[in-house]
Structure 1
Amino acid sequence: MDNELRLYFIRHGETQYNIEKRMQGFCDSPLTENGILQAKSVGAGLVDIPFIAAYASDSQRVLDTAKFALGTRNIQLTKDARLKEMNFGMFEAMLQADIIAEHGDILERLFSFKDVESKLQDGESFTELLNRTNAAVADIIAAHKDTGGNIAVFSHGVTIGFLMKSLLNSEGFPHHDNCCVSVILVKDGQMIVEKVADASFRDSGKVSLSIE
């Protein structure tokens, strides 16, 4: 029997494009000062979790979040492009207000999840996103099934959210605020969702940082 694994999925900290309300998938923008604080805070909130490994999307905003969150922990960070955010194609870096004004029907149709095979021009579908995310998660599980333990996985809001939606088989899409944490228990070959978009690690960590 394999040993229990817990995967802690952590969304990146606030970025410049988040502030500007731009569509941010494969495109990137730096963490804001608040985003850096969020990353340090979630790291402080997770301080009692003994992680044995850490994985991250290869987007710089995620790598920087991982660096600030892991701090002085002696853990090797493994980059995996399959953990990237959804590719929003023609909408990349566009202001969300402009997208809604000019292409609201396309955006609404995409996020209605009625056709998970549909995709934006030059982008990818939810099915393609889930396939690559699942492949990355399967490899992480396979690499650590003999030892068990806790794994930190730094990724993105839609990537994590759609994974949770699929595991829970839910109609709704769980919004993940910056540096919220979702937890999956892997036990006896099953993936069990324990937490979804939990802000308590980040928020309690921020408090502990302010006390120090």
Structure 2
Amino acid sequence: MELYVVRHGETNENIKHMMQGNMDTVLNETGRNQALGVRKKIENIKIDLIISSPKLRALETAQIISNGQIPIITDERLLSRNHGEFQGKSRYDIDIENYWNIKKNEQYETAESVSHMFERIIDLLNDIKKNYSDKTVMLATHSGVCRILYYYFNGIPESGSLLGYESVNCSLEKYELGE
């Protein structure tokens, strides 16, 4: 089955390189225009369902893309990584290399581990295969989830670093989700 993945459109916090995590931020004008661009890009693709993170920035992206024509449901497994004590900080204020390395898989006091993110995303993918195998599904989500999905489908590098892939706002990826 075909699985499309879109990262939410731009927010003012993205401009500041802020780790938004569970903050419920909204799209700015650029972000809304980016979502309109995705809607145009997929106009000849029959998307049967959009599954969105419940956060406003992802949900608004899904709603703009859907334009009332594609059903949308939310799933908390598409939430951004829980950044815990790092939420609201600039990504440049932390050791980002260790933070996104599955081999180091550091346990932070309040932040979600990379391996836990993989577990919840794999659980979601298994449910999608079980319930929507005959559908074309789009996921509207966050950069960390896009990163996990990329490495799920393409393999994890020997180094364990998940920083080799970066999704920009409203990037659109297509994957084949097999049996």
1:182 partner letter? E
Q: Give the TM-score taking structure 1 as reference length.
A: 0.77
> 1:10 Cα deviation (Å)?
0.6
Other-structure match for 2:33: 37
Q: Give the TM-score taking structure 2 as reference length.
A: 0.90
- Paired residues of 2:101 and 2:114 also in contact (CA < 8 A): no
Is 1:121 the equivalent of 2:116? no
- Mark the CA change 1:48 to 1:70 in structure 2 (over 3 Å): closer, same or farther: same
> 1:113 Cα deviation (Å)?
3.3
> 1:38 Cα deviation (Å)?
0.3
Other-structure match for 1:165: 151
Report runs of 4+ in structure 1 exceeding 2 Å deviation.
111-114
> 1:133 Cα deviation (Å)?
1.0
Query: Gaps spanning 5+ residues in structure 2: where?
Result: none
1:95 partner letter? S
Other-structure match for 2:4: 8
Is 1:19 the equivalent of 2:31? no
What percentage of aligned pairs have identical amino acids?
Answer: 25
> 1:179 Cα deviation (Å)?
0.7
Other-structure match for 1:58: 54
Other-structure match for 2:132: 144
Query: Gaps spanning 5+ residues in structure 1: where?
Result: 190-212
- Paired residues of 1:88 and 1:120 also in contact (CA < 8 A): no
Larger Rg: 1
1:110 partner letter? Y
Other-structure match for 2:98: 109
1:80 partner letter? D
Report 1:175-194 matches (<5 A): 175-187=166-178, 189=179
Structure with more of its chain in strand, by fraction: 1
2:125 partner letter? V
What is the aligned residue count?
174
2:90 partner letter? L
Provide the C-alpha distance between the structure 1 equivalents of 2:129 and 2:56, rounded to a whole number of angstroms. Answer: 24
